[in-house]
Homo-oligomer: A and B are copies of this chain.
Amino acid sequence: MQSFGQPDAMNKRPKLSGEDRLIARHFKPLAKAKGAFSLLDDAAAITPPAGCDLVLTADAIVGGVHFFPDDPADRIARKALRVNLSDLAAKGVKPLGFLLTLALPKHIGDRWLAHFARGLGSDADRFGCPLLGGDTVRTPGPVTISITAFGAVPRGTMVRRNGARAGDRVLVTGTIGDAALGLLLRHDRKNAARWGLNRAQHNHLASRYLLPEPRNSIADALRKYASAAMDVSDGLVGDLAKLCRASGVAASIDAARVPLSRAAQTALTNAPALLETILTGGDDYQVLATMPARKVAAFRKAASAAGVAVTDIGAIAAGRGAPRFLGRDGRPLVFARASFSHF
Contacts and interface: CB of A to CB of B under 8 A. Distances in A.
Interface of A: 1-5, 7, 10-11, 13, 15, 17-22, 35, 37, 40-48, 52-62, 64-66, 83, 87-88, 90-91, 93, 99-101, 103-104, 132-142, 144, 146, 148, 150, 153, 155, 158, 160-162, 179-180, 183, 186-187, 230-231, 233-235, 238, 241-242, 246, 281-283, 322, 336-343
Q: Give how many copies assemble into the complex.
A: 2
A138 B65 CA distance: 7
Chain A contact surface mostly: mixed
Given A141-B139, A283-B1, A246 B41 contact: yes
9 contacts: A1-B83, A2-B179, A4-B65, A5-B65, A17-B341, A18-B342, A19-B343, A58-B101, A139-B142
A234 B10 CA distance: 13
Contacts of A341: 10, 13, 17-20
Contacts of A64: 5, 140
A322 B56 CA distance: 39
A41 B163 CA distance: 11
Nearest to A157: B45
A158 B139 CA distance: 31
Given A66-B137, A342-B19, A343-B22, A4 B44 contact: no
Contacts of A7: 337, 340
From A11, A13, A187, A341, name the one whose CB has the most chain B CB atoms within 10 angstroms: A341
A162 to B, nearest CB: 8
Given A48-B48, A183-B4, A60 B234 contact: no
A59 B144 contact: no
Contacts of A47: 53-54, 155
